[in-house]
A = this chain, B = another copy of it.
């Protein structure tokens, strides 16, 4: 017994409601200040401060000072993936939040997962990219084909700087609402940014929802048909 890594710390960090709310808010990919997170969790600033310190020393968060603000963000993609994975299992086991609000359908359709697109549209995009042979499954992840390289460059995504990063270019991430994979990694992130830039979609304030407008969705559907 007492073999392997210790999962209790991670579990207990995630297991507190206030902290879970903060983490969920940060899953939107935006860095938030301590007071914003306190508001998100519905607790006082002092309490939030203590929680944030714990999560930081536990490796879940990183902190960036900027003027008199302190911005907190998820430490890395792995933390985001774990949170999504837990949401997947929680959903499967029926652990829903007390009030499943009216936003729920919109959230299932298109939302931000840390920094890339998730939900029905995210899964569809992934399927389409695979079906057209732009991405291809590799050893343990995803690879970019020559066709894919041309496609993305044609979509005004500059691959060169992305490939220089330590972060993997393509990665698959499990979707809690669909239990299917969608595209993560720096390429997934770049695609989402491109959708914003093109004016196809925008972020809904204070939420993970990504809202496509009518022409934007039309373009998206044409480009990522299955």
Partner-B contacts on A (CB < 8 A): 1-17, 20-21, 23-25, 40, 58-59, 78-79, 81-83, 85-99, 101, 103-104, 107, 127, 130, 137-140, 172, 176, 180-181, 206-208
Contact = CB atoms under 8 A, between A and B. Distances in A.
21 contacts: A1-B25, A2-B97, A2-B99, A3-B101, A3-B104, A5-B88, A6-B20, A6-B90, A6-B97, A7-B24, A8-B14, A9-B90, A9-B95, A10-B14, A59-B95, A81-B85, A127-B139, A130-B139, A137-B138, A139-B181, A140-B181
Give the number of times this chain occurs in the complex, counting copies. 2
Given A9-B90, A15-B14, A90-B9, A1 B206 contact: yes
B172 A11 contact: no
A104 B5 CA distance: 10
A172 B96 CA distance: 27
